[in-house]
Each structure stands twice: as C-alpha cells, then as structure tokens.
C-alpha cells in the first residue's frame, strides 16, 4: 500500500520539489490557493482534515528576509508559528493522527553569522523574527509529537539550491547573467548549501526514524566556486573581484543610505565570513548521502 502524505507549502520552492520528486508518497496538498486539495490560510484558520495520512510534511512558511516594519516582523509569527499551531489543531480533529510529522526548519535557528561545523546541539540563539519564529515552531511541533506519540522529524536547512531559486541566490544568478556580479575579497567564504533533490531524498527515510538534523551537501562551496560554476553554465565571463577595502567603503555608504542600497557593513561581514553546519548526524543515523552542489546545480537558461 502506498504511503499517504499531506504537504503544506506545495507552491513554494522546496514544496514544488517535494511534490514532484517524492514518488514513494501519494501526496495531497494544503494551502491558500485553489490548486490545493485542502484550501485554507493556515495563518488565519484551522484546516478541516477529513482524510487519514501516514505523514505530514510541513514546508509552508514565511521565507527569510529583513523585515522593514512591525507588521512584517509579526508576519513571521503569524505564518510560521500560528500557521503551525492551526495545522496541528486540524490534525487533532482529524479521524486519526499521522504516524510521523516532518517540519522544514532552518539553520537560522542557531542565530549565527559565522562559524564552522555547527552541529544540532548548538544553542538556538536566533534573535531575528525569522529565526525566533522557527525556534518557536520547532518547539510546538516537538511537544505535540511527544504528547501524541507521533514520530517527530525536524530538518534544518541552509541555502537551498535548485532550478529558478528565489532570494539571494536568484539575485546572484541574475547578476552573473547580466554581467554585474562581483566576488568580494576573493569570494573565499564557505557556506553550507543543499540541493532540493537531496532534501526530497531524505523524506522517506527520516519519516520512519525521526530526529533533528542539519542537512548540507557535505562540501560547503565558496562564493567564488559557486559563481564560477554558474558563469560557466551561462557562458559568461569569470566574475571580477572587489577588494575588501573598497567593499567596506560601499558598505559604509549603505549604512547611511538604508535598505534600498544593496550592501551595508553588516551584510558585508556575513558575505565574507565562513558559515558551515555539521550534517554528520544525518549521514550516520539515516545512512543518507548527497550530491555536492557544484556537481548537481543546474541553471535554467
């Protein structure tokens, strides 16, 4: 008998990959628009769940960005925290509970701008609205699973790599294609990344075992390596380099001019600092393996 799964966030970047790629699971979707099987805005309402599911994959959430107002800060908690609560309330009222619950979280819960080999037992010290909302949602999920004897799976993801990515990676690809992307200080900072298909691959494994895991490609490319790979695929020149000194001057201008400027001194520090996470637990406990991002990344032309 095929595994029956309920997926939230199926219209998102990762959700689309899970829906298309997780062939082991017969997936029904829950979301705000009418393409979903269960139509509901989780930030506002409790869903009516009439079917029985073996696994629930909660990938819906408000993505990481810098909030510019109190309303934007609150939106992280409305979507990531209240949305999670409402989903669990809906499951409580269903005919039966799932065997396992998978929550898609983020390495942002650690609240780190730099560091290497950060493991799952590192304190969760996020202070930004996004990271704090993810910490709170993780706790809600763990408590609910413990109370209801449901297998709890928390996947903490770094930068996601896939076709047509959003956010900073999407901006980087556009910049390389248009010829205005520059590496800063050689682009030598290493960052943890993971291919969407490798996240998809872990779902049928983790759902029967549970646990909290960092996921990475195991290599942690530098910005320079990633930019060179993308430029080669796009048949563009190798990205040029800006010195740290010159970038620092631009960053100081950004401090003065505000959010509309592409860089400030805080962003500069993040860009030029290593930030990598340890995924040994996933590899040893789940016998899970990955494709290095630099081998698996595909750029849509």
Report how far residue 152's alpha carbon sits from residue 208's, in angstroms, rounded to the nearest whole number.
9
pLDDT at 1 over 80: no
The DSSP output letter for 2 is P
pLDDT tens string 270-299? 888 999 999 999 999 999 999 999 999 998
| CATH number assigned to the domain comprising residue 91 | 3.40.50.720
Q: What is the three-class DSSP state of 224?
A: helix
Query: Domain limits at 203?
Result: 3-163+192-217+276-291
Cβ–Cβ under 8 Å, residues 164 and 198: no
What is the value of pTM for the model shown?
0.94
- If one counts every other C-beta atom within 10 angstroms of the C-beta of residue 9, the result is 22
Report how far residue 299's alpha carbon sits from residue 140's, in angstroms, rounded to the nearest whole number.
37
Flag whether 235 is in a domain: no
pLDDT at 206 over 90: yes
Say which residues have a Cβ less than 8 Å from residue 295's Cβ, sequence separation at least 6: none
Flag whether 103 is in a domain: yes
Is residue 4 packed enough to be buried (19+ CB in 10 Å), middle (13-18) or exposed (0-12)? middle
Flag whether 173 is in a domain: no
Flag whether 48 is in a domain: yes
Mean pLDDT over the full length of the chain: 92
Report how far residue 19's alpha carbon sits from residue 28's, in angstroms, rounded to the nearest whole number.
9
pLDDT at 67 over 70: no
Flag whether 231 is in a domain: no
pLDDT tens string 90-126? 999 998 999 999 999 999 999 999 999 999 999 999 9
State percent of the chain over pLDDT 70: 97
The domain total for the chain is 1
pLDDT tens string 266-277? 887 888 899 999
In the prediction, which pLDDT does 290 show?
96
Flag whether 261 is in a domain: no
| pLDDT-based confidence at residue 301 (cuts at 50, 70, 90) | low
């Amino acid at each position: 008998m095929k595994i029956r799964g309920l997926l939230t966030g199926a219209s998102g970047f990762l959700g689309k990959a899970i829906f298309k790629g997780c062939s082991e699971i017969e997936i029904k979707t829950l979301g705000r628009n009418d393409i979903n099987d269960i139509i509901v805005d989780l930030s506002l309402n409790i869903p009516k769940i009439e079917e029985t599911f073996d696994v629930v994959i909660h990938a819906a959430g408000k993505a990481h960005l810098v909030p510019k107002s109190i309303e934007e800060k609150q939106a992280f908690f409305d979507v990531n925290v209240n949305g999670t609560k409402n989903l669990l309330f809906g499951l409580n009222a269903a005919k039966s509970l799932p065997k396992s619950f998978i929550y898609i979280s983020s390495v942002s819960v650690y609240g780190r701008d730099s560091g290497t080999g950060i493991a799952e037992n590192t304190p969760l010290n996020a202070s930004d609205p996004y990271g704090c909302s993810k910490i709170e949602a993780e706790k809600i999920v763990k408590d609910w699973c413990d109370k209801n004897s449901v297998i709890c799976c928390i996947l903490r993801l770094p930068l996601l790599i896939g076709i047509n990515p959003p956010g900073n990676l999407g901006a980087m690809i556009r910049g390389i294609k248009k010829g205005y992307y520059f590496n800063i200080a050689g682009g030598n900072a290493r960052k943890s990344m993971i291919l969407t298909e490798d996240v998809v691959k872990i779902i049928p494994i983790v759902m029967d075992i549970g646990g909290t895991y960092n996921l990475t490609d195991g290599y942690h490319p530098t910005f320079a390596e990633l930019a060179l790979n993308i430029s080669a695929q796009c048949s563009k020149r190798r990205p040029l380099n800006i010195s740290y000194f010159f970038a620092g001057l631009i960053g100081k201008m950004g401090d003065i001019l505000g959010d509309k400027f592409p860089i400030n001194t805080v962003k500069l520090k993040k860009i030029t600092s290593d930030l990598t996470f340890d995924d040994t637990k996933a590899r040893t406990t789940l016998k899970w393996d990955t494709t290095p991002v630099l081998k698996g990344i595909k750029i849509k032309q």
